[in-house]
Amino acid sequence: MSSFYRQEIEDGVFEDVGAACVELVPVAPMLCQAPKLARSRPNASFVAQLIATAEQDPQTRQQRRAAPADALSAYSAQERQLRRDSAARPVNLEKAA
């Protein structure tokens, strides 16, 4: 039995039957191709974090962190400066209207 023929049983007799269609159909290459997407480069800080995590390096954030009292004094000083600046600035009512 070849790939072009198959055998069928009709009235108890085997008959060789030819394939229904053996014509070749030309296939043209696709003219419309999807645009190639540009690959972005990986974020260096993210890659560095992955490497540090894999190597179980100590976290540097804890070393840069200030004491809570230092942070409060810095924020308080900035808030006082902003209040002084806004109190010293004259209010122009004509622009607001």
| 39's tokens | 């690959």
Name the more confident of 6 and 2.
6
pLDDT tens track for 5-58:
455 656 666 666 666 677 777 777 767 777 777 777 778 888 888 898 889 887
Q: Mean pLDDT over residues 53-66, rounded?
A: 77
Q: Mean pLDDT over residues 66-94, rounded?
A: 81
Residue 1 pLDDT level (bands cut at 50, 70, 90): very low
Residue with tokens 């840069």: 64
| 47's tokens | 């890659």
Query: Are the CB atoms for 16 and 7 separated by under 8 Å?
Result: yes
Helices (H), the chain: 44-54, 61-64, 68-88, 93-96
